[in-house]
């Protein structure tokens, strides 16, 4: 008898490209980008920037979730038959415990280690939110079967393979270093750097002019795109194209000044 698929009809998470495309559709329409080939080129640049921003700057979710930490922990659990956890108590759980007291426990049960591996893989798959699928060109992970009851899902995702995990750790290590280096940037410097990246790519693709004429509308378009994908907060009051242009221009200038300052150190 074929096992029923209780997840049938449930859509998998949208890819990075699909999420960006959905958020920018109305902006493209508003600015008259109706040619499909032109839209495709602009979307490609926006998706590339969105993905790079997740790596270099991080959005709110990525800043809270340390994928590098989780990936390394998965590797340790797979390497060892016994894991010893030590720490210093910050939150005493009973009257006998004291803040600042050393504490230690040991994990060696195969069943516990296996399910910790399952849980951490599922956590990592959830936290990375489709970015690995986009960056590494991987398929989304499926739910794994409950080996003790094949008719019931265990609600864990398929674990990453040894090769996949090594790729993730190497990638997240580089991202972790970049995040530390970028932590000192102001919000406007970060936005300015991403806006300059998009403008340069738009110009190279022939989608933006290299002349000053038409900049107000181009910068207003970039402003509205960044608001749509959450990189710029929604303005409290409506802004006209001239005000959007000024904001984008100031962010770019702030980033350029930051780069000049770094080069003079």
Give residue-wise pLDDT tens across range 144-189. Answer: 876 655 555 568 899 999 999 999 999 999 888 777 766 678 889 9
1 pLDDT above the threshold of 50:
no
What's the pLDDT tens digit per position in 48-105? Answer: 888 777 655 544 444 445 899 999 999 999 999 999 999 999 999 999 999 999 999 9
Looking from the CA of 22 toward its CB, the CA atoms found within 13 Å total 7
Rounded CA-CA distance 63/221 in Å is: 27
Gyration radius of the chain's alpha carbons: 23
d(CA 100, CA 221): 54
> What average pLDDT is seen over the chain?
85
Distances (CA, A) of 159 to 1, 115, 178, 223: 27, 11, 27, 39
Residue 30 predicted with pLDDT over 70: yes
């Amino acid at each position: 008898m074929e096992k029923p698929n209780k997840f049938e009809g449930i859509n998998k998470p949208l890819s990075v490209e699909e999420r960006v495309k959905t958020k920018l559709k109305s902006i493209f329409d508003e600015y008259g980008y109706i040619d499909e080939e032109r839209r495709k080129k602009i979307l490609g640049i926006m998706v590339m920037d969105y993905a790079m921003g997740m790596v270099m700057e991080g959005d709110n979710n990525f800043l809270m979730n340390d994928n590098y930490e989780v990936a390394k922990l998965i590797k340790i659990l797979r390497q060892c038959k016994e894991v010893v956890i030590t720490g210093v108590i910050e939150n005493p759980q009973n009257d006998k415990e004291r803040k600042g007291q050393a504490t230690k426990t040991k994990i060696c049960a195969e069943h516990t280690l296996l399910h910790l591996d399952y849980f951490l893989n599922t956590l990592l798959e959830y936290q990375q939110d489709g970015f690995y699928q986009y960056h590494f060109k991987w398929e989304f992970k499926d739910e794994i079967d409950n080996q003790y009851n094949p008719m019931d899902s265990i609600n864990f995702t398929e674990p990453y393979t040894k090769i996949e995990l090594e790729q993730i750790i190497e990638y997240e290590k580089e991202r972790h270093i970049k995040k530390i280096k970028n932590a000192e940037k102001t919000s406007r410097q970060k936005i300015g750097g991403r806006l300059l990246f998009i403008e340069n790519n738009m110009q190279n693709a022939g989608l933006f002019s290299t002349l000053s004429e038409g900049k107000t509308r181009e910068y207003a378009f970039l402003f509205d795109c960044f608001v749509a994908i959450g990189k710029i907060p929604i303005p409290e009051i409506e802004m006209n194209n001239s005000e959007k242009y000024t904001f984008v221009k100031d962010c770019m200038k702030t980033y350029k000044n930051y780069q000049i300052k770094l080069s003079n150190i």
